[in-house]
Amino acid sequence: MSEAAKQQAPSRPAPSPTPWARVDVPADRYYGAQTARSLIHFAIGKEAMPPELIRAFGFLKKAAALVNQDLGKLPPKSARSITQAADEVIAGKLNSHFPLRVWQTGSGTQTNMNVNESHFPTRH
């Protein structure tokens, strides 16, 4: 996000386990503190995560929710919420909530956190 856009966009403090780790997130974004920090610390390049990768995460999260529901490890209401959000991700409706660049530490942790913060399960 450009400095001008940061100054103009309303923001909200993202939940954080410690008060000194709080970071602001644009109010119209679903993601949280981990994604916002990644945007700050990995502000290199312009190559965003490919939509195909984000879509694949949607399939992964949906499958995990359904299997965990079948195993009795996830309540049906939570499984429905997660699969609904996953369907939105799979359909590409929420691509703008995945702002991270491909340039990260190499493990993909930031991208996985972006997926978890943005859509599973707290949004629904």
- Whole-angstrom CA distances from 29 to 12, 75, 106, 122 are 10, 27, 25, 13
Mean pLDDT on 83-88: 94
What is the rounded (10 degree) CA torsion for 32, 36, 37, 42?
Answer: 140
* Model confidence, pTM: 0.74
Q: What mean pLDDT comes out for the span 65-80?
A: 96
**Coil, strand or helix: which one is 11?**
strand
Instruction: Provide the pLDDT for residue 104.
Output: 78
What's the pLDDT at 16? 57
Inter-axis angle of helices 76-90 and 51-70, to 10 degrees?
A: 160
The pLDDT of residue 39 is 87
